[in-house]
Chains A and B, each alone.
Chain A
Amino acid sequence: MTEPIIEVKDLTKHFVIEHNFWGKPSVVLPAVRKVNFSLQPGETVGLVGESGCGKSTIGRMLVGLYHPTAGKIYYQGQAKKHITKQVQMVFQDPYASLNPRMTVGAIIEEPMIIHGLQGKLAARQQRVHELLYMVGLKPEHANRFPHEFSGGQRQRVGIARALAAQPQVIVCDEPISALDVSIQAQIVNLLSKLQKELGLTYLFIAHDLAMIKYISKEVLVMYMGSIVESGPAEQLYQQPLHPYTQALLSAIPIPAPNQSFVKTRVHLQGEVPNPLALPRGCSFSTRCPLAKTICHEESPNMITKGNRTVTCHLY
């Protein structure tokens, strides 16, 4: 096995919601709780989970937009503390993540200026044109403003901006969820093409399970700030171990009418618990159809089964 390009150890992020009179944190939201995983060079790892489970927070910590409360991120064996050019990000909403007052060319050029790449203006502009061509846009688009583009084209600009710093790793934070179905496929194909050409490593965050299965080699499933299950995509989808993964997979509406009898649905009762008042024991125990007494009392440990891990008392 090759050395992982990114390794994450016991990564934790707490957001302080309220301070008390002395300025000490009094209400703390544990967004990410002791997460461990690694990214192999040239591979795609998918991160799934419901809204508010902490998947974007992990992505932002990898890039350096948030500082972890505890735990370490290692980039090629070195502890990573700041924003670096090697790890870049593609954001969810292509309508909000591009500055409306900058031209597309200026947007793509900015990372090069910040990281001191391609010193001369002419060289930078040459590079902007190359990048636009790589993501399927035309060089003359460099002088236009973001509002002149459609959602799919804007997401292409976002990808070009991420590529401008010549990164090794790109964190894709729901890059397709704001786009239409026919455009989603275009962007996903573009991302796989770029991965092949440039040998990029992706952390692909999404809530669309079918898309995650398609794009990733490894999948991490998150619930309430911790990873409940991980493993190779094929195995995880064929035989999900954690009850949450099972429920998540069976809840996907499948575009094949009159075939619903094939699958047995696991119905989850209730709502996602309040992250400020997590249940005792396993955080999924309040909704789990298979919960036992121990689940409400002790939090489960991570169990490794071959190349898969699961955090559940059942195993």
Chain B
Amino acid sequence: MNIPVINVENLAVGFRTYRGTVHAVRDVSFTLNKGEIFGIVGESGCGKSVTANAIMGLLPARNSFVASGKIELEGFSLLGRTKSEMEAIRGNEISMIFQDPMTSLNPVLTIGTQLTEGLIRHKQVSRNEATKLAIEMLEKLGMPFPDKRMHTYAHALSGGLRQRVVIAMALLCNPKVLLADEPTTALDVTIQAQILELLKEIREKFTTSMVLISHDLGIIAEMCDRVAVMYAGQIVEQGLTADVFYHPQHPYTQGLLASLPRLTDDKRQELNVIHGQPPDLLKYPEGCAFSPRCKYAMKGCQIFAPVASTLHQNHYVCCHLCQQNNIQTEGMRREASR
């Protein structure tokens, strides 16, 4: 078996706040294979972006910490690297597309300066060479008049074009991994369709592996090969996109999918609702974090946290319902550890 491009194991990230520690990511494991698009879907505050920022090494050192786990890029650990080591990797081997193209570009530098910066730094090419490569990349991404755009500033471009610049910037050093954190959330539907199509083409052309983070189940369904559903800092279900969407096993995934109105629905019946609110992660949830909102919750769910169980190949679910003897085994494990 070949080494996965990205391997995240038991990652836990916390944030220190004046009210206590927020357990933003708890025990997240996934792998990203070569040429694959892996989706992470979940509601706001479930830890999707924190996971991405942890991979990039962009967590603020001031108030956050990686409590445990490992992050590997082709077998090379990314945790505990120095600032300069991370700088050599960031933008070169792993690139990130941020959510809002309105704020992720520097307003006082020209597009050209921002595009060539990474190339000059990482690939030791001359400024002229870098400019040529940047114009070529913009052309590939379907930007009209790329040579003229190099001298303009971000404010002169529309949202869709700015996102193309951000994507071009991320791709210029030919990274192994592209992390796209809600790349189309700030854009309109028709422009979103253009950008998603572009990301698919990039995968074909450059065989880049991607992690696509989104809250939109539709985008995930169209783009991703495999998907992880996150809730309250944990991956509750993970598997091939078709498996997760057509045979959801976790009650949260089922609830999410059922709460969406479909274009194909005819009847106007009441939407299915997941009652309640996501938990406050200031308190580390005892048991299953979803149990207060779960309609199938059992007594044991509030006491014992479920362990990820394999349903069949590559389909993992973190729920007691999917493994009947989980509660027993967990209980025995706790007894043994005492």
Contacts and interface: CB of A to CB of B under 8 A. Distances in A.
Interface of A: 50-51, 150, 152-153, 180-186, 188-189, 192, 207, 209-211, 213-215, 234, 237, 247-258, 260, 265, 267-268, 271-272
B192 interface: yes
Given A210-B260, A271-B191, A253 B216 contact: yes
B252 to A, nearest CB: 8
Interface stretch (B165-173, B272-280, B296-304, B329-337): B272-280
A251 B262 CA distance: 14
Contacts of A249: 263
B259 A251 contact: no
Contacts of B277: 150, 152-153, 183
Contacts of A183: 43, 277
Interface in B171-214: 188-194, 196-197
B327 to A, nearest CB: 26
A250 B189 CA distance: 10
B256 A181 contact: yes
A252 B218 contact: yes
A207 B261 CA distance: 14
Contacts, number: 119
Closest 3 CB pairs of A and B: A253-B218, A214-B261, A251-B193
A210 B221 contact: no
Contact of B241 (A214, A248, A250, A257): A257
18 contacts: A152-B277, A180-B44, A181-B256, A181-B259, A189-B271, A210-B261, A210-B262, A237-B263, A251-B190, A253-B196, A254-B263, A255-B217, A255-B218, A257-B224, A257-B242, A258-B241, A265-B193, A268-B193
B147 to A, nearest CB: 19
Interface string B150-176: 000000001011000000000000000
A189 B270 contact: yes
B263 A182 contact: no
A210 B270 CA distance: 14
A209 B190 CA distance: 12
A106 B217 CA distance: 38
A209 B264 CA distance: 12
Contacts of B43: 180-183
A214 B219 CA distance: 19
Contacts of B217: 181, 255
Given A181-B43, A213-B261, A253 B241 contact: no
A213 B220 CA distance: 21
Nearest to A260: B222
A184 B189 contact: no
Interface of B: 43-44, 158, 160-161, 188-194, 196-197, 215-224, 241-242, 245-246, 255-257, 259-263, 265-266, 268, 270-275, 277-278
A271 B158 contact: yes
Nearest to A153: B277
B189 A254 contact: no
Contacts of A265: 193
A271 B216 contact: no
Nearest to A211: B261
A214 B261 CA distance: 6
A275 B262 CA distance: 33
Contacts of A182: 43, 255-256, 259, 273-274
A207 B44 CA distance: 19
Given A181-B215, A252-B189, A256-B221, A267 B196 contact: no
B190 A50 contact: yes
A96 to B, nearest CB: 16
B190 A255 contact: no
A150 B271 CA distance: 21
Contacts of B262: 210, 254-255
Contacts of B255: 182
Nearest to B269: A214
B263 A209 contact: yes
Contacts of B222: 253-254, 257, 260
A189 B275 CA distance: 12
A249 B223 CA distance: 18
B263 A188 contact: no
Task: Name, among A188, A189, A247, A255, the residue most crowded by chain B CB atoms within 10 Å (CB to CB).
Answer: A255
Nearest to A149: B277
A185 B216 CA distance: 14
Identify which of A150, A256, A272 gathers the most chain B CB atoms within 10 Å of its CB.
Answer: A256
